[in-house]
Structure 1
Amino acid sequence: MVKNNQKLPLHHYLSLKKEALAIMEGIIDINYKFNFKMYNIETLQISSTNPCLIVYMLDQSGSMADDFSGGGSKAQKLAESINEIIFETGLKCYDSSGTIKNRFELSVIGYGAIKNGIEPAWEGNLRDHWVVSISDVFNNPINNPNENPVWITPKAVGQTPMAEAFENVYRICEAWINWGNHRDCHPPIVINITDGVATDGGMNQQRLIQVVNNLKSLRTNYGGVNVFNIHISGSEGDSILFPLSMQNSNSYAQLLFDLSTPLNDNMIKNARVMNYDVKQGAKGYVFNGNAKHLMDFLNIGSQLV
């Protein structure tokens, strides 16, 4: 667990890298590697003893500079939305004495901004930190205009190395699950926000498909890693919101649907409160989403307490 504003130790990731790659390549059977119990997630209370990891994956490719609904660029709206959801998540972690409890650990990954590579999107004191506790996040904004803290700023630079980003997220989640008592915690939640197709997905996006399937196979005793995807667009057109299935869609819309996992019962309830007609079994997936869809999507996927 990250404490005192320290990085999750690099040696911990490196020691797992060889084994993680073997799992990803099918050399090691992940079910053999991990002997999991299965508990009812509805009985789980997220706490500082049993925290939840949330990973936000931010597309920072050049096309994110394009205009978005509601004014401004997609990159600007994404940064605003991520800062807002982080703030809302942290506010729910204060106890009655005014102390923030580390119920969540956060990872914010940017892909495309640095020579088409991957980096933590945190800035200031949190720069280069892959996983950060919510208390350390709240103690280290880079700005706080009108009491609206800022941790993430807009970036829109290169291509869309989404497969490489998911490979990094796989290693983060695998290491986190095996840290301390995290097998007895809520499975990590991964929320990917993008406006385009992976530029490093390989032939027929097989590299992307393989790594996301491996990510979804990671488990705690309460279930597998949640992977939610939202494709945002500034163009007019029909949006696909939390579907059960895909019909007559383009191949990329179908791909993101296939990569996504279903919403759990609490998330479905939250979506219905927001007036979304979400059926049991619906996936955490939006295609051609606008600015409102983006913020609602982050709320539905992130707000567990």
Structure 2
Amino acid sequence: MGERFGNARHSKAVELANAINDTIYELGLRCIGNAGELKNRFEVAIIGYGKSDDQVESAWEGPLAGKWVVSIKNIFDYPLGVSDDKPVWISAYAMRSTPMTRAFENAKRLCNDWIRWGNHKDCHPPIIINITDGAATDGGCNYKDLLNEVNQIKTLGTNYGGVNILNIHISAQSGDKILFPSEVPFTDSLSNLLFDLSTPLNENMVRIAKHKGYDVSNNSKGYVFNGNATDLINFLNIGTPQ
């Protein structure tokens, strides 16, 4: 994530942090009621693996540091700081390793605990958005460990459907971008793997994607390869209920 993002002067890590901060801000705006109050319509966790090699931890910083799932109201109550007159919550980090299996293991634990708590069985299922620029460094032989964790996540769900798993691959390879494919159009093993890990877009995601101008169908998967900055922002928006 330390390399430059396309033709931008900043790194992939900076672009990603900016996109996540902007998406959190937009989520909060969607939760403002008619009286101007911020309603608790979302709960968010950010799992990071860029601060130190082989470590997976909550990416929240400042007053939220160390917390995992945080309500949107608490998120807006405790930003890390302000940039361009908007609150921000996370900073950019980039290290060499990509412990993706550990990240999905943590996501599985968080999703399972969230689904079992209170009345969440009657809520929209959790959405996991994985953004990476490289292969898992802890995936095991033929990525068996990674596949095992993700397949376990796919067994989880609420009364409204299974957990959604979306992947965006910020590739260093040249070539055309591929957005929300419905079949495997790739020749390299990592792209095929991330495509297989992704779940199909649900009905609401298809609607949002079409509204944003993407050519999608009910069989399209939540996977983007080589997307640009606009696609990154749109991907995060498509992956969050509206």
TM-score normalised to the size of structure 2?
Answer: 0.96
Q: Does 1:301 align with 2:222?
A: no
Which residue is 2:224 aligned to? Answer: 286
Q: Does 1:138 align with 2:76?
A: yes
Q: 1:168 aligns with which of 75, 100, 106?
A: 106
Q: CA 1:248/1:108 → structure 2, altered by over 3 Å: closer, same or farther? A: closer
Q: CA 1:292/1:233 → structure 2, altered by over 3 Å: closer, same or farther? A: farther
Deviation string, structure 1 residues 26-81 (Cα, Å, up to 9, x no partner): xxxxxxxxxxxxxxxxxxxxxxxxxxxxxxxxxxxxxx010002411000000000
Mark the structure with the bigger radius of gyration: 1
Is the 8 Å Cα contact of residues 68 and 234 (structure 1) preserved in structure 2? no
Which residue is 2:43 aligned to? Answer: 105
Q: Does 1:126 align with 2:98?
A: no
Which residue is 2:2 aligned to? Answer: 65
- Partner amino acid for 2:184? M
Q: Whole-Å Cα distance in 2 between the matches of residues 203 and 91 of structure 1?
A: 44
Q: Whole-Å Cα distance in 1 between the matches of residues 16 and 75 of structure 2?
A: 18
The CA deviation at 1:110 is 0.1
Does 263-272 or 226-235 show the bigger shift? 226-235
Which residue is 1:275 aligned to? Answer: 213
Which residue is 2:138 aligned to? Answer: 200
Deviation string, structure 1 residues 176-196 (Cα, Å, up to 9, x no partner): 000011111110000000000
Is the 8 Å Cα contact of residues 68 and 233 (structure 1) preserved in structure 2? no
The CA deviation at 1:219 is 1.1
The CA deviation at 1:119 is 0.6
Structure 2 unaligned regions, length at least 5:
none
The CA deviation at 1:248 is 4.6
- Map of 1:77-96 to 2, 5 A cutoff? 77-96=15-34
Does 118-127 or 245-254 show the bigger shift? 245-254
The 3-state SS of whatever aligns with 1:297 is helix
Deviating beyond 2 angstroms after TM superposition, the runs of 4 or more aligned structure 1 residues are 112-115, 233-236
Deviation string, structure 1 residues 121-174 (Cα, Å, up to 9, x no partner): 010000010110000000111111332111010000230000011001100100
Is the 8 Å Cα contact of residues 113 and 158 (structure 1) preserved in structure 2? no
Deviation string, structure 1 residues 84-138 (Cα, Å, up to 9, x no partner): 0000011000100111010000000101422321111010000010110000000
Q: Does 1:154 align with 2:103?
A: no
Q: Whole-Å Cα distance in 2 between the matches of residues 250 and 206 of structure 1?
A: 17
Is the 8 Å Cα contact of residues 232 and 294 (structure 1) preserved in structure 2? no
Is the 8 Å Cα contact of residues 133 and 172 (structure 2) preserved in structure 1? no
The 3-state SS of whatever aligns with 2:128 is strand
Q: Whole-Å Cα distance in 2 between the matches of residues 294 and 249 of structure 1?
A: 22
The CA deviation at 1:234 is 5.1
Q: Whole-Å Cα distance in 2 between the matches of residues 69 and 132 of structure 1?
A: 32
Q: Whole-Å Cα distance in 2 between the matches of residues 219 and 261 of structure 1?
A: 13
Identity percentage of aligned residues? 54
The 3-state SS of whatever aligns with 2:129 is strand
Q: Does 1:221 align with 2:221?
A: no
Q: Whole-Å Cα distance in 1 between the matches of residues 152 and 223 of structure 2?
A: 19
- Partner amino acid for 1:281? N
Is the 8 Å Cα contact of residues 93 and 101 (structure 1) preserved in structure 2? yes
Name the Cα RMSD after superposition: 1.2
- Partner amino acid for 2:3? D
The 3-state SS of whatever aligns with 1:100 is coil
Is the 8 Å Cα contact of residues 186 and 192 (structure 2) preserved in structure 1? no
- Map of 1:41-56 to 2, 5 A cutoff? none
Structure 1 unaligned regions, length at least 5:
1-63
